[in-house]
Amino acid sequence: MRSLGLSRNRCLVAGGAGFIGSNLVRALLARGMQVDCVDDLSTGRESDIVDLKRDPAFRFIQLDVSNAEDCTRFLRRHYSQVYHLACPTGVPNIELLGEEMLLASSAGTYNLLKIARTSGARFLFTSTAEAYGDPQVFPQAETYAGNVDPVGPRSAYEEAKRFGEALTCYYGRKYGVDARIVRIFNTYGPRMSPEDQRVIPQMIGSLINGQPVLIYGDGSQTRTFLHVDDLIDGLLTVMERGSNGEAYNIGGSRQLTIKQLFEAVKKATGLSGRAVFQKHFISDHRGRWPDTSKVEALGWSQKVSLADGLREMYAEFVSSKDERRSDEVTLVASFAMNGRSGRPQARV
């Protein structure tokens, strides 16, 4: 039974309407926590959390965390935990939302750290594998400083997250905020938008629509992939058991080339299709592979296989497409019934 009056049971999740954030919010509610979900909806989807608004333990606030005045005005509660996931993600968003990435990870981190300090809350900053840049060491341990170009085409995301890490650790040292960092490697799973530009949803969406699958470069670049359920388990583990000022990698253990991923997606979905190769629109990284021994020492482990996760995601995408088609048919029928003008008639 939830204890709705105790601030020690209240969490703030910034970026809570996003893919990872909406999954985290649900996990926290299932644990009996109260959750304030904050999102500016620049990439998050309110539809992913709309059903939660009936839960008295849930509150949604549309807010840009980089806006100090709004944070002060609307986030006056005291929290036991603050999760900072508020930043547009995905390499395709760098050119479009680079400024928002920089502000969310700098001013946004600062504003949320102040809230955590005032509340005496634990703070978790979600960073990224991009913090390692184009790595020259495999696998990448948290002690690896990376190979990053601070003014390169990917710098808006890479340097934003690296700055957020630095500010998080500084606040921990100077003000005693109990803060930790998670570097997230490629994640996929439920509530990922079919319009998401990352590789797995794009592959599944193209195959469902009978379109060629676009692969940037020659497809030999490697990545690892982690189901969002495993990531959420990792975030909760680090929040509860991680050490102040420490960074933790959370990602999949199996390296795949993008061409191998394409074959895995086809096998999991049962769909056939062909790939087309195109020069990458931005400088690419040849590989990523997290050393997860540090988070595993806290008791975390990867549980969902890639094949199972891809099948689940395919089923969700098909269901979502069927729902959209049904809505379109209903709308057309409504127009037909309400007159030939194509405009629905007013209801009395």
62 strand-pairing partners: 39
> What are the DSSP calls for 58-100, one per residue?
EEEEE--TT-HHHHHHH--S--SEEEE--S--STTHHHHHHHH
User: CA-CA distance, 330 to 256, in Å (whole number)?
Assistant: 42
- Is it the case that residue 343 has pLDDT exceeding 80? no
Q: With CA atoms as reference, report the closest residue to 40 among 17, 73, 11.
A: 17
- The label of the residue with tokens 């590789």 reads 199
Confidence of residue 341 (pLDDT cuts 50, 70, 90): very low
pLDDT of residue 347: 29
Q: Which residue has the higher pLDDT, 8 or 287?
A: 287
Q: pLDDT per residue over 82-94, tens digit each?
A: 999 999 987 888 9
Give 204's Cβ-side CA count (13 Å radius). 30
- Is it the case that residue 185 has pLDDT exceeding 90? yes
pLDDT of residue 7: 56
pLDDT of residue 334: 52
pTM of the model: 0.91
pLDDT of residue 188: 98
Report domain extents, the chain: 7-191+224-253+282-304
Considering 83, 132, 157, 248, which one is annotated as catalytic?
157
Range name among 30-34, 156-160, 194-198, 216-220 with the lowest pLDDT average: 194-198
Give yes or no: 110 in active site: no
User: CA-CA distance, 251 to 294, in Å (whole number)?
Assistant: 12
pLDDT of residue 222: 97
Q: pLDDT per residue over 20-48, tens digit each?
A: 999 999 999 999 999 999 999 999 999 99
What is the identity of the amino acid at 311?
Answer: R
Confidence of residue 340 (pLDDT cuts 50, 70, 90): very low
**What's the whole-number average pLDDT of the chain?**
91
Q: Work out the average pLDDT over 171-200.
A: 95
User: CA-CA distance, 63 to 4, in Å (whole number)?
Assistant: 23
Residue pair 202/214 in contact by the 8 Å Cβ criterion = yes
Three-state DSSP string of 157-185: HHHHHHHHHHHHHHHHHHHCCCEEEEEEC
Over pLDDT 90: what percentage of the chain? 85
- Is it the case that residue 346 has pLDDT exceeding 50? no
pLDDT of residue 131: 97
Residue pair 22/48 in contact by the 8 Å Cβ criterion = yes
Residue pair 63/74 in contact by the 8 Å Cβ criterion = yes
**Given this structure, which CATH class describes domain 7-191+224-253+282-304?**
alpha beta
| Token pair of 166 as six digits | 């630095």
Q: Which residue has the higher pLDDT, 315 or 347?
A: 315
- Is it the case that residue 168 has pLDDT exceeding 80? yes
- The label of the residue with tokens 């750290």 reads 113
Residue pair 204/318 in contact by the 8 Å Cβ criterion = no
What is the identity of the amino acid at 109?
Answer: T
Query: How many Cβ atoms sit within 10 Å of the Cβ of residue 305?
Result: 13
Q: Work out the average pLDDT over 328-332.
A: 48
- Is it the case that residue 344 has pLDDT exceeding 50? no
With 0-12 CB in 10 A as exposed, 13-18 as middle and 19+ as buried, what is 222?
Answer: middle
Q: pLDDT per residue over 109-151, tens digit each?
A: 999 999 999 999 999 999 999 999 999 999 999 999 999 999 9
Q: Work out the average pLDDT over 197-214.
A: 96
User: CA-CA distance, 192 to 316, in Å (whole number)?
Assistant: 9
